[in-house]
């Protein structure tokens, strides 16, 4: 189902697509390719929207902290918004202190994507297209991006990313859904249990740029190798926790880069029983504990969002890779195809 969600100041209509399969209900906006709503049942079969969002387009345009959005060209931070590739230095749009965050001022989250529905066997979904012009936000090369959202027969939400370029460039695509498995607007996720199969993470400086070190999680608040609640160590006076005002860090997944999506994280809300399992081809994930939510945004259900009312698990290559020669490369060259897949599975 397709309906008009709103109209931008320049007259462009933004549509909302509604899909349902295998017990999962998904609503997607052409603006930013944003997941506006994702509903799953609890253990008694009661549905709730487990993703943060707004009920109107104006708020998405004016103040969304990337709710549900597609992120590009470069998810996460690039130091000083600058990098050098094949001897040329590129200056990007800077939008996070002195750094570039999530692709700059007008990243993919602020673009109106072309959306095409499809059904394939028992799967249903959307293809989303955006062509990013050479030089957009300072990045080299025309980047042709195709993202596919699939709802499978089993109710999984699968995201496939593809991109090609006509000049050497850097790419790191992700989706920025904020999860609250008890339902958006229902309060903190500090009691959610989280497990991440990562023995290392990338510590950061005060600007949240990685130092380059791959530090062990053992003996730190970053050890989620066995499930623990998000709240358990979030108030530890660990320098990294203080820098992030909570968790806002890239975890180095033990599985590494894989050609097929492999499981790396489980989130569980003990009260509702809702469980989210995530698999990816990516080598890293940004675990963000909703630290910048400050009670000033009113969400889809009419309730204010406060600090820690959601978590994000943004699958990715590591932050600032274009300036970190020891990190897995994010360079894409003409003739190559960037590919990345992340699968979200729900149960209760």
Q: How far apart are CA 314 and CA 148, in angstroms?
A: 16
| List 101, 163, 181, 311, residue binding ligand GLA (CB under 6 A) | 101
List all residues 6 or more positions away from 297 whose beta carbon is below 8 Å from its beta carbon: 54, 59, 63, 65, 304, 305
Could you give the residue ranges of the DSSP H alpha helices within 204-313?
239-244
Please identify, using beta-carbon distances, which residue of 199 and 245 lies nearer to ligand GLA: 245
Residue 234 beta carbon to ligand GLA: minimum distance, rounded to whole angstroms: 15
- Asked if 34 touches ligand GLA (CB under 6 A), the answer is no
Please identify, using beta-carbon distances, which residue of 115 and 170 lies nearer to ligand GLA: 170
CA atoms 118, 345, 312, 271: torsion sign: positive
List all residues 6 or more positions away from 119 whose beta carbon is below 8 Å from its beta carbon: 125
Residue 77 beta carbon to ligand GLA: minimum distance, rounded to whole angstroms: 7
Question: Which residues, 225 to 264, sit near ligand GLA by CB under 6 A?
Answer: 248
- Asked if 222 touches ligand GLA (CB under 6 A), the answer is no
Distant-in-sequence contacts of 53-57, Cβ < 8 A, 24+ apart:
53/184, 53/299, 53/300, 54/297, 54/298, 54/299, 54/300, 55/299, 55/300, 55/302, 56/6, 57/5, 57/6, 57/7, 57/8, 57/14, 57/29, 57/31
- Asked if 292 touches ligand GLA (CB under 6 A), the answer is yes
176 as an active site residue: the answer is: yes
Which residues does the annotation place in the binding site for beta-D-galactose?
A: 76-77, 176-178, 248
| Cis peptide preceding 330, ω within 30 of 0 | no
Residue 123 beta carbon to ligand GLA: minimum distance, rounded to whole angstroms: 29
| List 312, 313, 332, 343, residue binding ligand GLA (CB under 6 A) | 312
15 as an active site residue: the answer is: no
Residue 47 beta carbon to ligand GLA: minimum distance, rounded to whole angstroms: 27
- Residues touching ligand GLA, count (CB under 6 A): 11
- Asked if 65 touches ligand GLA (CB under 6 A), the answer is yes
Which residues sit at the interface with ligand GLA, rule CB under 6 A? 65-66, 76, 101, 208, 248, 286, 288, 292, 312, 314
């Amino acid at each position: 189902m397709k309906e008009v969600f709103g109209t931008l100041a320049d007259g462009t209509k933004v549509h909302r697509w509604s899909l349902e399969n295998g017990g999962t209900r998904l609503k997607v906006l052409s603006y930013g390719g944003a997941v506006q709503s994702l509903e799953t049942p609890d253990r008694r079969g009661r549905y709730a929207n487990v993703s943060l969002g707004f009920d109107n387009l104006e708020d998405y345009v004016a103040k969304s902290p990337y709710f549900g959005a597609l992120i590009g060209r470069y998810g996460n931070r690039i130091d000083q918004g600058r990098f050098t590739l094949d001897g040329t230095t590129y200056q990007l749009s800077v939008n996070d202190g002195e750094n570039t965050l999530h692709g700059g001022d007008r990243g993919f989250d602020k673009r109106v994507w072309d959306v095409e529905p499809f059904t394939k066997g028992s799967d249903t979904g959307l293809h989303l297209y955006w062509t990013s012009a050479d030089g957009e936000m300072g990045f080299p090369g025309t980047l042709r991006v195709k993202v596919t959202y699939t709802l499978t027969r089993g109710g999984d939400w699968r995201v496939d990313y593809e991109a090609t370029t006509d000049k050497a460039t850097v790419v790191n695509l992700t989706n920025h859904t904020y999860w609250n498995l008890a339902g958006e607007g229902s309060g903190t996720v500090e009691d959610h249990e989280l497990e991440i199969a990562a023995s290392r993470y990338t510590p950061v400086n005060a600007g949240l740029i990685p130092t380059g070190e791959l530090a062990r999680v053992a003996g730190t608040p970053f050890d989620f190798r066995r499930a623990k609640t998000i709240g358990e160590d979030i108030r530890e006076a660990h320098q990294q926790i203080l820098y992030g005002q909570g968790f806002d860090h890239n975890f180095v997944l033990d599985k590494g880069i894989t050609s097929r999506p492999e499981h790396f994280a489980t989130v569980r809300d003990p009260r509702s029983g809702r469980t989210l399992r995530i698999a990816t081809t990516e080598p890293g994930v940004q675990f963000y504990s909703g630290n910048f939510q400050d009670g000033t945004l009113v969400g889809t259900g009419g309730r204010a969002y406060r600090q820690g009312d959601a978590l994000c698990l943004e699958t990715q290559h590591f932050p600032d890779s274009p300036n970190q020669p020891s990190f897995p490369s994010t360079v894409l060259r003409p003739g190559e195809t960037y590919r990345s897949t992340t699968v979200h599975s729900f149960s209760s």
